[in-house]
Amino acid sequence: MARGALAFQQQQRRRWISLCLLLFFFLHVDVARCFYLPGVAPQDFQLGDELKVKVNKLTSTKTQLPYSYYSLPYCPPEKIVDSAENLGEVLRGDRIENSSYVFKMREPQMCNVLCRVTLNAKTAKAFKEKIDDEYRVNMILDNLPLVVPIRRPDQENSIVYQHGFHVGLRGQYAGSKEEKHFIHNHLTFTVKIHKDPVTELSRIVGFEVRPFSIRHVYDGQWNEKTRLKTCDPHAKALVTNSETPQEVEDKKEIIFTYDVNFEESDVKWASRWDTYLLMADDQIHWFSIVNSLMIVLFLSGMVAMIMLRTLYRDISKYNQLETQEEAQEETGWKLVHGDVFRPPSNPDLLCVYAGTGVQFFGMIVVTMMFAVLGFLSPSNRGGLMTAMLLLWVFMGLFAGYFAARLYKMFKGAEWKKIALKTAFLFPATVFAIFFILNAVIWGQRSSGAVPFGTMFALVFLWFGISVPLVFVGSYVGFRKPAIEDPVKTNKIPRQIPEQAWYMNPAFSILIGGILPFGAVFIELFFILTSIWLQQFYYIFGFLFIVFLILIVTCAEITIVLCYFQLCSEDYLWWWRSYLTSGSSALYLFLYAAFYFFTKLEITKPVSGMLYFGYMLIASYSFFVLTGTIGFYACFWFTRLIYSSVKID
């Protein structure tokens, strides 16, 4: 235990050093290894200790519909026991259960017979469907997922690790054109261990498998003592290839077998996840991210510099005219000072979206902090989603507060009404889409369908915690003194002159969303890949920097376009400031559609519906987040400039 505590402290110290280096932009590909914690406390095993393998869901990138392991007629243990899953795991479709695979630490096993199954028409059809959809079997040993090592043909001594092994494959016999389905019924496991030379205790640092399809042969009638001719360690007949594969057909007999080998490794327990996290990413991806971020930073700096110089000249000119009492007509943005703080159309909706955006912003900031510190690493399955849900619920306090503050500034009097809208508008929309998608998944009998108990827990979090916190925040916010405008508003609205084509609201809004989207679209590729191609996402250090740049770009592009709008004597900036940066969500959804048609192999309508449904929720959330950032940046900017000049 002392050694484990010391290793943990050393790991924490290295993580803090790496985090500081990252914040100063001294980035290197190997730094990414420091952005996670190894997971749970290490477990030491003695010679002969029992190692229990757990099975997880069956997954496919073609259907995006997970199924439980025992939805296929695999060999079950005497009693199937579900492992306790957190909220995030359930929402991800994880179904972790015990299995019949039992190993002994550092005791190799050859040709172990798991069970014998005779297929019928129904079970054969189930296997064939899963093979056609390229489903993979996922297993877990000591919290490590099972991987299949595959050598890359384009690079020597380079290995790519794929999550899980395929249920089976399709192929043809030599000289035949008929395509058959074959099942992987023999597994050769390799458990990599790191052994302490002093105590002789071992820790598991790797879990690999090589699947084979083989038609086992034996003499006589089947019984518990039957010896296989095709897999017999006494006769030195081991499975090394799939030259005589096992067909999947009605009334076919399938014998499931496995081997277990133990291999010593120099990899220490604290670094055992490096193999899983550094899977198929080339260095060119990292350099592309850094290059993109630096370009966006440079553009943002240029915009800020131009903005500050131009605005400083305007304020100096206006104040000088007032000092010299020159009787000149006001021009530019000062001309609309009597209308710029006039309440917008549909102010209640703007207050609701602004408050919800603050809720999102708080959730993401806190989540990022925990993720960068490693508490939400992939080794903690479901931790990221669970943290986001809980933080969203508790951030309802800030949503109500900011919505009520803005509502009172617009001379609103019914704070309960705005609190009710804030508590229900966005969550109800998302929940409705989620409920429809969940019903579709339920119709497919997938394990990805959220059970009734979990659905009840989500509703309880919403109604039992989030809604009361929104009302508390609204009550506190409404009791605060109203925000005073820096200038008085005229009773009669000023007529807005005809605008140039490039100042058309629709055009400027669409243009404004390009730069924020440009700040995230490369990172978005990695995020979509991790979600839909079932890979680990762990580069939270880069993601945190991208998020900071997103904030800067949303704020700057909104301020610049708002400034040009006011200079053209158009004072309707409230909604346009929200939509300017919020329009980046449109580009995000279009990019998601591009990714769907170019990177994914989804062919089923149900799977396509799930993809676009969930990406619609993600885009809607991104709209609320970026729109709120742009709105509050523009709100701060307009108050600043109109309080800096002398207005008669």
Whole-model pTM? 0.84
What's the rounded Cα separation, in Å, for the pair 505 and 510? 9
- Report yes or no on 123 lying in a domain: yes
In a domain, 391, yes or no: yes
By residue range, what is the domain housing residue 447? 343-483
The average confidence (pLDDT) of the chain is: 82
Residues 189 and 81 in one domain: yes
Q: Which pLDDT band holds residue 31 (cuts at 50, 70, 90)?
A: very low
Amino acid (1-letter code) at residue 92: R
**Rounded mean pLDDT of 166-189?**
87
| Largest Cα span, the chain | 113
What's the pLDDT band for 329 if we cut at 50, 70, 90? very low
Cα separation, 230 vs 366, whole angstroms: 57
Element (H or E) spanning 630, and its range?
Answer: helix 605-642
Distance (Å, whole) CA 85 – CA 96: 8
> What is the sign, positive or negative, of the torsion defined by CA atoms of 177, 179, 185, 188?
positive
pLDDT (mean) for 378-392: 85
For residue 338, report the phi and psi dihedrals to the nearest 5 degrees: -85, -5
Contact 117, 75 (CB under 8 A): yes
Pairing of strands 109-118, 179-183: unpaired
Q: Which tokens belong to 646? A: 């002398």
Domain match, 456 and 377 both: yes
For residue 462, pLDDT over 80 is answered with yes
250 and 111 inside one domain: yes
The span from the CA of 88 to the CA of 385, in Å, is 5
Which tens digits make up the pLDDT trace of 242-293? 888 889 998 889 999 999 999 998 888 888 887 777 644 545 456 656 756 6
Instruction: Let me know: does 373 contact 23? Beta carbons within 8 Å.
Output: no
Cβ atoms of 146 and 260 within 8 Å: the answer is: no
What percentage of the chain exceeds 70 in pLDDT?
A: 85
Same domain, 264 and 126: yes
User: Is the domain of 372 the same as that of 468?
Assistant: yes
Amino acid at the residue 587: Y
Give the separation between CA 473 and CA 148, rounded to whole angstroms: 51
64 domain-assigned: yes
Q: Is residue 35 part of a domain?
A: no
Q: Are 265 and 398 in a shared domain? A: no
Q: Is 493 left (phi over 0), alpha (psi -120 to 50) or beta?
A: beta
**Tokens in use for 226?**
């039957």
- Regarding whether 366 and 217 lie in a shared domain, the answer is no
Q: How far apart are CA 470 and CA 474, in angstroms?
A: 6
What is the CA 294 to chain-centroid distance, rounded?
A: 24
Closest of 270, 256, 272 to residue 116, by C-alpha: 256
- Number of other residues whose CB lies within 10 A of the CB of residue 404: 28
What pLDDT shows up at residue 371?
85
* Residue 413: Cβ within 10 Å count: 9
Could you give the count of Cα atoms lying within 13 Å of 343 in the half-sphere of its Cβ? 17
Residue for token digits 């900017």?
Answer: 637
Q: Helix, strand, or coil here: 590?
A: helix
Q: What is the C-alpha to C-alpha distance for residues 557 and 627, in angstroms, rounded to an integer?
A: 12
CA distance 354 to 349: 9
> How sure is the predictor about 157, in pLDDT bands with cuts at 50, 70 and 90?
low
Report the SS3 class of residue 107.
Answer: strand
**What are the pLDDT digits (tens) for 97-114?**
999 998 999 889 898 888
122 and 258 within one domain: yes
| Domain stops at, among 467, 483, 499 | 483
pLDDT of residue 7: 39
Q: Given this model, what pLDDT does residue 319 score?
A: 66
Q: How many domains does the chain have?
A: 2
Q: Which of 515, 510, 514, 533 is nearest to 596 (CA)?
A: 533
Residue with tokens 């050694």: 3
Q: Residues 220, 362: one domain?
A: no
Write down the pLDDT at residue 81. Answer: 86
- The tokens for 388 are 């986001």
Question: Taking the C-alpha atoms of 117, 123, 127 and 132 in order, what is their torsion angle to the nearest 10 degrees?
Answer: 160
Cα–Cα dist 611/433, whole Å: 12
3-class state of residue 134 by DSSP: coil
Give a yes or no: residue 194 inside a domain: yes
CA 45/CA 262 separation, integer angstroms: 13
Same domain, 206 and 65: yes
Residue 251 amino acid letter: K
Closest CA to 463 of 516, 423, 519: 423
Q: Which of 483, 512, 527 is the last residue of a domain?
A: 483
Q: Which residue has the higher pLDDT, 609 or 499?
A: 609
For the chain, the first-to-last Cα distance in angstroms comes to 74
**402 lies in some domain:** yes
| Range 460-481 average pLDDT | 93
Are residues 267 and 351 both part of a single domain? no
CA distance 91 to 215: 38
Q: Please tell me whether residues 147 and 63 are part of one structural domain.
A: yes
DSSP-H helix ranges across 480-513: 505-512
Q: Which residues contact 137 (CB under 8 A, 6 or more apart)?
A: 55, 58, 69, 146, 164, 165, 166, 167
Report phi then psi at 387, rounded to 5: -65, -40
Is there a domain that residue 37 lies in? no
Q: Which of 452, 449, 454, 458 is nearest to 428 (CA)?
A: 458
Looking up tokens 């925040």 gives: 473
The residue type found at 461 is L
Separation of alpha carbons 461 and 149, rounded Å: 42
Residue 586 — very low, low, confident or very high, per pLDDT cuts 50/70/90? very high
pLDDT of 28? 38
User: Domain for residue 212, yes or no?
Assistant: yes
> Which residues are CB-contacts of 627 (< 8 A; sequence separation ≥ 6)?
353, 357, 578, 579, 581, 582, 585
- Which of 433, 463, 483 is a domain's end point? 483
